[in-house]
Structure 1
């Protein structure tokens, strides 16, 4: 061991060494090299894979446990999965890997959020090959996201001029494809309303769509390209020191459907699948009348749409006289549905 290597080591107290042994932290052990793990697993290690060390293949895999300082990866089918404990018979270095933190010290981090935030990692050695990594942090793989969820989507608003004699609904239809006056009324700070309509030539802000918030991290690359169904965007994240992690963020046009998002950076890739759904409220009104009056009798009416859809409330009505009621289903995706209505205590009544 040379003096340069010794000088780069952290110095620990006996108490810290005891804690490291207890928590399975590999103090001053060699950092992971690109050949130690599949690239997919290197990209998952934060802030950078060089902050982690590979567990000895000769340890008893059944005794290892996932913790804040130890991560266990096991091959299940075609996928690498982070597990709490290894299943029986795994072979470390082939169908399973265990990695441990190399330090008790927390790595320093840049402040703030958004594109360009830097997280420092272990410095590169002179002979180290720098491997790019990229990861999509949010949304998560397999997410199903409601387009109305403002925490995960942002409004896209543009400005247009309304024509002389053009109604707000016709204006919205022309610029957005939907005759939705609320797309105008709700985005002009009360300047135009139904009682105070716009006039020809007015510049109006219009909700033209929504964007899904997407963010992630990258190291050893100055650019990230995010591709999705039929579209792509390239981002310049700037230059950073070797093995430092930069954050990036963007938004992509959001419409209901299934998506595959793929981030690439200098040959590194990470892909996720997600579903965007648009929910609608369905109201069903119906009327019925009694041919017979039963004193103080009550009927209980319930309505459901398919077994998979819930949300319709049950109501009780007296059986005297003609009745009219309404049921509301607040969150339905677009599609075809079967309607079922049940009425108890039904005797000599005509339904219409």
Structure 2
């Protein structure tokens, strides 16, 4: 069955006046079967189809990561209706509805802040891991995380028209319309195949030995190249995933090698997006520990990334951070304690 598929593809490529690796492979398979070398034919089929299976595996792995991102989107929203808070499916939310979002919750849909303030992590949309302060009239996006504060939001887009939904559609369209990146083995076969055919014919004419001709065709079949690229792609995609990089398709890795310049965001991409306190300068005769303790008390109830960095420094010093008597967050400015 595998050999028949390869042979069919080779015939199609010949009709298009193009030599591909399938042509060499199909000739090697047919000659091997005719001469009774069934194991050689099976090896060619397994190696050629094995490369394609690896490519499909890499593609499915990237698709699963994208599906996981889609499934992370909120499925319900809390709206204000007749003076009461009611949870409804996200599909039933309409433009003009007022939705309520509490700390630690994801914003379910795009809209504009009409009350409250808070810090929103927009990494799922922009890739920027540092929280963005949101106040009255600020734009907010669905599937972003409210880390601190509370917001009342007026919906200004239907669920299918949100920025997140648009990103999902772009990814799906990109997967459905893959760029025609040529396989390394096909580039090799385009000029190599005619030469091998001539050598095989010459071998048959000179030796009149079909086994020698079969050996020439089987040995020259570029099976190793059909496996080389997929194995490298699977390994690279796996390693990228371990480092938090999602490669949509193996073809992207082949194309990026042609790039002259790569432009990336710094925070959260080249850096972890988690600030740390690296130095403390104490003035007016105060100790470093005293300064860190005062700052940690002030920031104890804050969810901001900088507040977490200060509290981590206090923990490293082994300080006992007490609760502040009063605490108020001034969005975009800091805290009052």
TM range (shorter): under 0.3
TM-score normalised over the length of structure 2: 0.21
Greater share of helix:
2
Alignment TM-score, normalising by the size of structure 1: 0.20
**Structure with the larger RCO, 1 or 2 (CA within 8 Å, 6+ apart):** 2
